[in-house]
């Protein structure tokens, strides 16, 4: 969590951890798909830098829509 908040300052306040899944909350008034695309691109770039011991589960969430993705352990 701290790594993501530090590496992604634009979305840092919108990140929460719940049930072993990292949630990115879509800001009010922002288009879901464009926010999802930006988060997915940033997360995949930043997590490639780190050695992980487990898969990381993510969710981009808004009150009307949500989409999950997983960055697998390598």
Q: What is the dihedral of CA 44, 56, 19, 67, to 10 degrees?
A: 40
- Which parts of the chain are beta strand (E)? 15-18, 21-25, 56-62, 65-71
Which backbone phi and psi does 48 adopt, to 5 degrees? -65, -25
Structural domain containing residue 46 = 2-71
Edge-to-edge order in the sheet of strand 56-62? 15-18, 21-25, 56-62, 65-71
Q: Could you tell me the pTM of the whole model?
A: 0.76
The number of domains in the chain is: 1
Note down pLDDT in tens along the chain; length 74 residues.
Answer: 666 777 676 776 788 888 889 899 999 899 999 999 988 988 888 777 667 777 888 999 999 999 999 888 76
């Amino acid at each position: 969590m701290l790594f993501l908040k530090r590496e992604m300052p634009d979305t840092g306040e919108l990140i929460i951890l719940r049930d072993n899944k990292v949630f990115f909350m879509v800001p009010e008034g922002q288009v879901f798909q464009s926010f999802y695309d930006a988060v997915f691109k940033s997360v995949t770039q930043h997590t490639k830098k780190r050695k992980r011991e487990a898969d990381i589960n993510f969710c981009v969430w808004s009150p009307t829509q949500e989409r999950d993705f997983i960055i697998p352990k390598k």
